[in-house]
Amino acid sequence: MEDSTIYQSPIVSGDLRALQHRETSVADPTLSPSLPSHSQRRYRIGFALPPKKQRSFLRPSLVSLSGNRGLDVLLIDPALPITAQGHFDCILHKLYGEPWTSNLLSFSSHYPSVPIIDLPDAVSRLQNRISMLSFASDLRLSSSFATVSVPRQIFVHEPTSYPAADLPFPLIAKPIAAADSAEAHDLTLVFRPHALLRLKPPFILQEFVNHGGVVFKLYVAGDHVRLVKRKSLPDVVSDDNSEKFADGWLQFSRLSNVTSVNSSDEAARLQSAEMPPMSFVMEIAREMKKSIGLNLFNIDLIKDERFSNHYLMIDINYFPGYEKLESYETMFTDFLLNIVSEDPVENHAGVCPGDEEKVQLSYLDMRSG
């Protein structure tokens, strides 16, 4: 939808105009009404997001559905004290840095009963790729269907520090920082040791595992889970690192240009890829939620082609792009109502039609079991 679309939502008028024009607004505390009875109560949900995230996530469809379900979406100005911006029933954020953290913790100390989604200490655990996957390596699942682990990886503080015998090539070089930035997603496939000299340390070297060119993306929002499958990097065969990768390395953004897999083959492979059982996925989501202490995250899973039923957790992201999911508005408003309301929203399960990148979804109640 275009930015000029009118938001049909009972938001405070000043915030409505600001949200329509994608500008940060401050909720006027004088406009905060006295709280009505539970049956009539509206909930004020504060969002503190970078401008790009505001534009992509706070779509008119989400704001409208939220308003229809009693949730008033408000933008928080991170440069001003949150305590001066009116009453909030819940705050969601994806901002970093000491000034914002201090602002958020100050608000929380004044209003300890207001849920903060999510606490800065928990969010920081996913900002560093050295520590990010340590939570996954400690998971103990009871599922008999499959197992899950993390790829082997090492920290390289200088190119000459890489011990050649530790991990076989090819390897994936990833920046240490995993927060939202162009550099965080600047990944490189490395085929030979000499290519490490062209990379700027420090970085993580992670084993590259063939996985059929398919990644399973597990989106978690509180007790709600969606699973989709999407195209991933193509498999690398033994002769791929001879002439095509003569330099010994290649950035991910260019990899599809030099591989022999055509688009029709990719589509067929994606279509035929079998989704892991939802009971298995639900257990991963539940245990990871406990381990990292977050409500909003997604997990990238690949199926290790060296084994019959083994999956690898390759990445975890905080407050991911839920807007890429079909009908994300329903999922997210259900989540918000579960956070602020005394009456939890019943979850569903089902299959959703969609394009090749949006294959299956499920709402799962992770409170059971």
Q: How does pLDDT run along the chain (369 residues), one tens digit per residue?
A: 333 222 222 333 334 334 433 333 333 333 333 333 445 689 999 999 999 999 999 999 999 999 999 999 999 999 999 999 999 999 999 999 999 999 999 999 999 999 999 999 999 989 888 888 887 777 778 777 788 999 998 888 876 666 655 788 888 999 887 766 556 567 888 888 888 888 888 888 999 999 989 999 999 999 999 999 999 888 886 555 555 566 677 776 655 554 555 667 778 878 888 899 888 999 999 999 999 999 999 999 999 988 888 999 999 999 999 999 999 999 999 999 999 986 656 554 333 333 333 333 333 333 333
Q: Is position 123 annotated in a ligand binding site? A: no
Query: Would you say 174 is a known binding-site residue?
Result: yes
For position 89, what pLDDT does the model report?
Answer: 98
Beta strand 153-156 with 203-207 is antiparallel
Residue 250: in which H helix or E strand, if any?
A: strand 249-251
The response to whether 214 counts as a known ligand-binding position is: yes
Query: Do the annotations mark residue 14 as ligand-binding?
Result: no
Is 293 annotated as a binding-site member? Answer: no
Residue 229 is assigned to a ligand binding site:
no
According to the annotation, is 210 in a ligand binding site?
A: yes
Q: Is 297 annotated as a binding residue?
A: no
For the chain, which domains are there? 43-117 (3.40.50.11370), 125-318 (3.30.470.20)
87 is in an annotated binding site: no
pTM of the model: 0.80
The answer to whether the annotation marks 232 as part of a ligand binding site is: yes
67 marked as binding residue: no
pLDDT at position 11, please?
33
Query: Is 215 within any annotated ligand binding site?
Result: yes
185 is in an annotated binding site: yes
Residue 350 known to bind ligand: no
